[in-house]
């Protein structure tokens, strides 16, 4: 059962992986490069804070949020991967978002979507 869960999780994760790679040096040739680079750095810092806060979450909340938001899975797909019901996933995502919002606010990020 565990191997099935892990294999399914990897298969679903593989479908959603795409990376766009670019260099900040390439952007410095653009007219508004400084503003764009500053925004990218700010976004990178916010992402680091997000990941640190995610690490503080209960593991079930973290996995439910990761699967639904970062991997783009439906609640049904996440339920299958985690061996939970859709209702349990709904509750974990809600509670995880509430806890994550509090952690982000503690770190000074106050403009978090509900």
Domain that holds residue 52: 2-16+24-106
Indicate whether 37 belongs to any domain.
yes
Do 53 and 103 touch, CB atoms closer than 8 A? yes
Indicate whether 40 belongs to any domain.
yes
| Alpha helix positions (H), the chain | 2-15, 24-27, 33-56, 59-65, 75-82, 86-106
Indicate whether 39 belongs to any domain.
yes
Instruction: Write down the pLDDT at residue 72.
Output: 92
pTM: 0.63
Q: Any idea what the CATH number is for the domain that residue 36 is in?
A: 1.10.10.10
Predicted confidence (pLDDT) per residue in 2-35, tens digit: 555 555 555 555 544 444 455 555 555 555 666 7
Indicate whether 113 belongs to any domain.
no
Burial class of residue 46, CB neighbours in 10 A (0-12, 13-18, 19+): middle
Indicate whether 111 belongs to any domain.
no
């Amino acid at each position: 059962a565990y191997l099935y869960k892990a294999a399914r999780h990897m298969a679903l994760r593989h479908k959603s992986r795409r990376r766009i790679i670019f260099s900040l040096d390439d952007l410095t040739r653009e007219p508004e490069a400084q503003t764009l680079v500053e925004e990218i750095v700010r976004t990178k810092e916010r992402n680091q804070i997000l990941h640190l806060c995610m690490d503080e979450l209960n593991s079930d909340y973290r996995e439910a949020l990761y699967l639904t938001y970062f991997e783009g899975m439906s609640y049904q797909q996440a339920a299958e991967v985690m061996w939970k019901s859709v209702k349990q996933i709904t509750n974990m995502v809600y509670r995880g978002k509430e806890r994550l919002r509090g952690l982000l606010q503690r770190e000074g990020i106050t403009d978090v979507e509900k």
